[in-house]
Structures are given as structure tokens and as C-alpha cells.
């Protein structure tokens, strides 16, 4: 069989299972209103929660950085020198998250991969929430550490896994390092981790903790510093991760923590060391995003977002509102029918979520108008589905 024939057979298998994916070209900026194939769409798919991706302050910061530092970065930051916009960003991030230091990566995915693989090796143990993001799972596998998964947000199950790891530690010399990884707001369910209790458990068992705040950064806690700050447990979390590509409106990932952690990652995180630095414009836009999130305007945007969330789904704890439909074909049909009404909501399927747990994932942003929300509610009603199902 030819190469393409072999791949086509695999693609057909995806099509049969309603798991085939394709790109939709957008000819407008990311905002509540998108141009797709020359048609206007109301957009409920983006993680641009505060509407900063197309904000004048971020665009201006990016433009200024291009004028001063150019379009490209030349090489890895350790090879050709490290452009000032990255240092400005990292100073802003450390101050925002109230940690000693920060390190930016090209993406959140690269931050997870570089960090977990730098910290753990094959003699170590990593304990993951069942629903952590693919980048954490991939990092855990690549690290070679023993992986244990606890039921989603289940503290008893987490404690069982920690007890198992403790028993292993007693038997082995040197004792394995044990790292727990969870998200604070879960990306596809929008629910919240019991972070205070997880911190208590990690202290009790002497484990390390990494928290991925991708969907809480910019949104939750004072000035949008995240759930850890909101619950007063930041200082007990060794590794705080986030992305610059969601509420902060730009692109990139970051790790915040002690100066020692950041020095260690600069020396050991392979996704940082062996990759060309992102364009300086991305760092400058992200710095403007971090500043905006902490401003009075940022606070107003958060309040606007909260009021939209309460209107759509009073019980929701984040801007991510999943409407779980189960069957992959059902989710695909619902998304198609919404598109027929010029509303863009993604159908989320395996492997992003478990098989049979397919869903529409509605995300709200501070830039949606009341009218946008009414149109969504009416369209969902016409399909006989509601955000509460």
C-alpha cells in the first residue's frame, strides 16, 4: 500500500467514528465576531476570556517590539543572547504571580514538557488528575517516571496514590521524587480543583506540586492572579504553570516559582534550551496582557465576564460551559446545526475528552454583548439543548 493510501485508510477510520477534524480558515481577528468563508459567525469557541487578543494595548505593544527588536529572535535565548522583551515579560510575570522568578516558553505545551522532564526521571513518580491536559500527560510519559492517575478531583484516591508512593519510597534508595500535577480550572469541564486540600495532602506526604492555571490566569483571584493566590496557597506550590495564550491575549507559556527552580529550568528544560525563542512581539504583547489583567480595566472585564457567566449558567464556576451530549455524532450534529445559524461552538471529542463524553464547549468572553448571549441561548433552545444538561 502506498504511503498516502495507508494514511487515507487511517483517516477513514476517524471519519467513521465521527472523529475527523479539519481547519476552518478565519479572515478576521479573534473576537466574538468571526469571518469564515465570507460569512459572519458569532464566536463561542475561543479562550480569549478577557477579549485581549485584539486589544489596542496589546497590538501596540507588539508593533513597538517589532520596530525596536525586529520580527525574529535569531536562535535559542542561551545561544544568541536573550532579547529584552523576554526579561520584561518574566519580571512582570513574577510580580503578577508574586514569586521570586518566572520563565517564559514558546507555548504552555512546551512549558509542561520542558519542566516535567527536567524535574523527573525514570526512578521518580508522577501523580496526575485523570482530566489533566494532554501536554501534562505527554510530559509525564516522556519523562519516563512511573505514572499514577487519581480519579478527577478525588482526594481519597489521591491520598491512596500518595500512600502507594510513600511505600515505594521506603523500599527504594535513593527515594523517588513524587510530583502531583493538577489544573486549577479544568479545560474541558470548567470545574475547580480542591486546591487547598491537595496542598494539605502534598505537605502531609512530602510530595511536590505543580498546578496548571491555564484557564484561571487573568480571571480568578485578586488581579486575576489565579486560584492558588485566591485560596492563599501559592507559597506552598513549587511549580506554578500558566499560558499567555488564553486570558492574557498573546501566545506562549510560563512557569513561576523560586529563583532556584527557574535557574534549574534554564539549564535543564530541553524545550526551552533547544528551541528558537518566540518572536519578541509575542513577549511584548504578553507583557501588556499581564499589565492589563491587573489594571482597573482588567477588573471591569472580569466583572463583565462573571455577569455573562451568571446569565448563561448560574451554577458555572468558570467561563467554560460544557454541554455534554455523549455520542460523538450528536456533538457533531449539534455543532453543525449551530453553524447553520452562524454560531461557532466547537464539538469536543475523543481524544480531547473520553470516548462517549463528547460535548459542545461554549466559552464566554468579556467582549460578548448581551445580544450575542441571547442569540446563543435562542439557538441552543431551537436545538432543544440547554447549558444545564
Ligand X SMILES: *Cc1c(COP(=O)(O)O)cnc(C)c1O
Contact code string over 98-137 relative to ligand X, x by CB under 6 A:
---------xxx-----------------------x-x--
CA nearest neighbour of 218 among 280, 286, 153: 286
| Catalytic status, residue 246 | yes
Does residue 229 have an active-site annotation?
no
Decide: helix, strand or coil at residue 129.
strand
C-beta pairs of 378-385 under 8 Å, 24+ apart in sequence? 379/338, 379/341, 379/343, 380/323, 380/338, 382/341, 383/334, 383/337, 383/338, 385/323, 385/325, 385/334, 385/360
240 binds ligand X (CB under 6 A): no
Residue 215 annotated to the active site: yes
Is residue 187 annotated as part of the catalytic site, yes or no? yes
371 is catalytic: no
Judged by CB under 6 A, which stretch of 52-60, 76-84, 211-219, 330-338 contacts ligand X?
211-219
Q: Which is nearer to ligand X, 42 or 110 (CB)?
A: 110
**In the β-sheet with 320-326, what is the strand arrangement from edge to edge?**
320-326, 358-363, 347-348
| Count of residues engaged in binding ligand X, rule: CB under 6 A | 13
Dihedral sign (CA 222, 241, 307, 313): negative
Per annotation, catalytic residue among 246, 251, 271, 367: 246
Per annotation, catalytic residue among 90, 124, 129, 133: 133
What gap in Å lies between CA 387 and CA 372, rounded to an integer? 15
Q: Which residues lie below 8 Å from residue 168, measured CB to CB, with a gap of 6+?
A: 125, 176
Q: Which is nearer to ligand X, 153 or 243 (CB)?
A: 243
| 3-state secondary structure (DSSP) of residue 257 | strand
Using the rule CB under 6 A, is 212 a contact of ligand X? yes
List the one residue from 88, 129, 183, 229 that touches ligand X (CB under 6 A).
183
Of the candidate residues 218, 245, 249, 280, the single one contacting ligand X (CB under 6 A): 245
Q: What secondary structure letter does DSSP report for 156?
A: H
Region of residue 144 (left: phi > 0; alpha: psi -120 to 50; beta: else)? left
> By CB under 6 A, is residue 41 in contact with ligand X?
no
The CB-of-101 to ligand X minimum distance in angstroms stands at 20
Residue nearest to ligand X (CB): 108
Q: Give catalytic residues, as residue numbers.
A: 47, 133, 183, 187, 212, 215, 246
**Interface residues with ligand X (CB under 6 A)?**
107-109, 133, 135, 183, 187, 212, 214-215, 243, 245, 253
Amino acid at each position: 500500500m502506498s504511503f498516502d493510501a495507508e494514511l487515507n485508510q487511517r483517516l477513514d477510520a476517524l471519519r467513521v467514528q465521527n472523529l475527523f477534524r479539519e481547519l476552518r480558515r478565519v479572515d478576521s481577528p479573534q473576537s466574538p465576531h468571526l469571518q469564515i468563508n465570507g460569512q459572519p459567525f458569532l464566536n463561542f469557541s475561543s479562550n480569549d476570556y478577557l477579549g485581549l487578543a485584539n486589544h489596542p494595548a496589546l497590538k501596540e505593544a507588539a508593533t513597538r517590539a517589532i520596530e525596536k527588536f525586529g520580527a525574529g529572535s535569531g536562535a535559542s535565548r542561551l545561544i544568541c543572547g536573550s532579547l529584552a522583551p523576554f526579561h520584561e515579560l518574566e519580571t512582570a510575570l513574577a510580580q503578577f504571580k508574586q514569586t521570586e522568578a518566572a520563565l517564559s516558553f514558546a507555548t504552555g505545551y512546551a512549558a509542561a514538557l520542558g519542566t516535567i522532564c527536567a524535574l523527573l526521571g525514570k526512578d521518580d513518580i508522577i501523580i496526575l488528575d485523570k482530566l489533566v491536559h494532554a501536554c501534562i500527560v505527554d510530559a509525564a510519559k516522556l519523562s519516563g517516571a512511573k505514572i499514577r492517575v487519581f480519579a478527577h478531583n478525588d482526594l481519597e484516591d489521591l491520598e491512596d496514590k500518595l500512600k502507594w508512593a510513600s511505600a515505594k519510597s521506603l523500599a527504594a534508595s535513593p527515594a523517588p521524587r513524587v510530583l502531583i500535577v493538577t489544573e486549577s480550572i479544568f479545560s474541558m469541564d470548567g470545574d475547580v480543583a480542591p486546591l487547598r486540600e491537595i496542598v494539605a495532602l502534598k505537605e502531609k506526604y512530602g510530595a511536590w506540586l505543580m498546578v496548571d492555571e491555564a484557564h484561571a490566569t487573568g480571571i480568578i483571584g485578586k488581579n486575576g492572579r489565579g486560584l492558588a493566590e485566591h485560596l492563599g496557597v501559592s507559597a506552598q506550590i513549587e511549580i506554578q504553570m500558566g499560558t499567555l495564550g488564553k486570558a492574557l491575549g498573546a501566545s506562549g507559556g510560563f512557569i513561576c516559582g523560586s529563583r532556584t527552580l527557574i535557574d534549574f529550568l534554564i539549564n535543564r528544560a530541553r524545550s526551552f534550551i533547544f528551541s528558537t525563542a518566540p518572536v519578541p512581539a509575542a513577549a511584548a504583547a504578553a507583557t501588556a496582557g499581564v499589565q492589563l489583567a491587573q489594571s482597573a480595566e482588567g477588573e471591569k472585564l472580569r466583572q463583565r465576564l462573571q455577569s455573562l457567566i451568571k446569565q448563561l449558567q448560574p451554577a458555572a464556576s468558570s467561563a467554560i460551559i460544557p454541554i455534554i451530549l455523549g455520542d460523538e455524532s450528536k456533538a457533531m450534529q449539534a455543532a453543525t446545526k449551530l453553524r447553520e445559524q452562524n454560531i461557532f461552538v466547537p464539538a469536543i471529542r475523543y481524544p480531547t475528552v473520553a470516548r462517549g463524553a463528547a460535548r459542545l464547549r461554549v466559552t464566554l468572553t468579556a467582549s460578548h454583548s448581551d445580544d450575542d448571549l441571547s442569540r446563543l441561548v435562542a439557538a441552543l433552545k431551537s436545538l432543544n439543548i440547554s447549558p444545564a444538561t
